[in-house]
């Protein structure tokens, strides 16, 4: 709601400025100053970058929101409430594809980082436990294992050890915690979602969803 109010207030002020035909000064500013301002912003790299960052709303963060949970505050990677970092897969069936390709759509996505030391057995066990946990709740969540070979993604997400990142449909991280400790994830799911009393639906491929 705070972001919605800020964006709507900004839109209202901008519309009022553009639509005001009774103020001669405002009209002159629109005709003379606006084109000059846009030219300066477009030609100066740092201003162009800042303008894109602002207009695209990349400044939004839900770090202090009760709708997110960070169970491991010492992690050096992105915190719950921040936008999920961009990156590419170096290995696995998704090699060469953008991580954001997997995060499209209206569902939640759970990234399971294996950590810097490869342990496929441990990763499979953790995935089975997580799948069992997700099936208890009526929310579509697709699972995406991120193996050790994807070094750049591990570095970008600060995943020296096994880590979980639950990404919301808007691209923000809803939950972050260790793969070895599912207590935090259990708490978050129980707080945010209703229990699922129907049979789970399993999707094909590397993804698996728990659906109502």
What is the pLDDT, as a whole number, of residue 45? 78
What is the pLDDT, as a whole number, of residue 205? 42
Smallest CA-to-CA distance from 69 within 206, 173, 179 is with 173
Distance CA 183, CA 71 (A): 9
What is the pLDDT, as a whole number, of residue 71? 87
Same domain, 35 and 94: no
Same domain, 185 and 89: yes
What is the pLDDT, as a whole number, of residue 172? 93
Q: 3-class SS at 30?
A: helix
Whether 50 maps to a domain, the answer reads yes
Smallest CA-to-CA distance from 187 within 136, 142, 144, 151 is with 136
Same domain, 99 and 184: yes
Whether 161 maps to a domain, the answer reads yes
Same domain, 130 and 87: yes
Whether 204 maps to a domain, the answer reads no
State the alpha helices, DSSP H only, in the chain. 2-19, 24-28, 34-43, 45-55, 99-102, 120-134, 151-156, 183-192
Whether 139 maps to a domain, the answer reads yes
Write down which residue in 32, 55, 78 finishes a domain. Answer: 55
Judge whether 68 and 80 are in contact, CB under 8 Å.
Answer: yes
Q: Which domain holds residue 26?
A: 2-55
What is the pLDDT, as a whole number, of residue 27? 67
Whether 147 maps to a domain, the answer reads yes
Same domain, 31 and 89: no
Q: Which residue has the tokens 């010492």?
A: 74
Same domain, 43 and 91: no
Query: What is the residue-level pLDDT of the chain in tens, covering all 212 positions?
Result: 776 776 677 666 666 666 665 667 666 666 666 677 667 667 777 766 766 656 666 666 777 888 899 988 766 789 999 999 999 999 878 888 999 988 988 999 999 999 988 888 788 888 889 999 999 998 899 999 999 999 999 999 999 989 999 999 989 999 999 998 899 999 999 999 998 776 554 443 444 444 43
What is the DSSP annotation of 120-152? HHHHHHHHHHHHHHHTTBSS-EEEEEE-TT-HH
Distance CA 197, CA 212 (A): 8
What is the pLDDT, as a whole number, of residue 185? 94
Same domain, 105 and 82: yes
Same domain, 106 and 159: yes
What is the pLDDT, as a whole number, of residue 210? 43
pTM of this prediction?
0.71
Same domain, 85 and 29: no
Same domain, 48 and 153: no
The CATH number for 132's domain is 3.40.30.120
Same domain, 186 and 102: yes
- Within 13 Å, how many C-alpha atoms sit on residue 191's CB side? 12
If one counts the domains in the chain, the total is: 2
What is the pLDDT, as a whole number, of residue 207? 46
Same domain, 84 and 32: no
């Amino acid at each position: 709601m705070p972001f919605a109010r800020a964006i709507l207030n900004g839109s209202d002020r901008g519309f009022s400025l553009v639509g005001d035909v009774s103020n001669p000064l405002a009209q002159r500013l629109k005709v003379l100053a606006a084109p000059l301002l846009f030219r300066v912003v477009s030609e100066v790299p740092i201003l162009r970058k800042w303008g894109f960052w602002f207009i695209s709303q990349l400044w939004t963060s839900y770090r202090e929101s009760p709708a997110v949970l960070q169970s491991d505050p010492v992690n050096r990677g992105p915190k719950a409430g921040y936008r999920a970092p961009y990156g590419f897969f170096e290995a696995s069936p998704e090699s060469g594809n953008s991580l954001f390709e997997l995060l499209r759509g209206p569902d939640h996505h759970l990234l399971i980082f294996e950590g810097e030391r490869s342990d496929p057995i441990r990763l499979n066990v953790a995935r089975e436990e997580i799948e069992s946990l997700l099936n208890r709740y009526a929310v579509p969540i697709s699972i995406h294992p991120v193996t050790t070979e994807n070094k750049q993604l591990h570095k970008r997400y600060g995943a020296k050890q096994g880590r979980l990142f639950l990404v919301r449909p808007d691209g923000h991280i809803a939950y972050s915690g260790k793969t070895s400790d599912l207590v935090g994830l259990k708490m978050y799911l129980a707080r945010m979602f209703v229990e699922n009393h129907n049979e789970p639906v399993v999707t094909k491929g590397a993804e698996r969803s728990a659906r109502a």
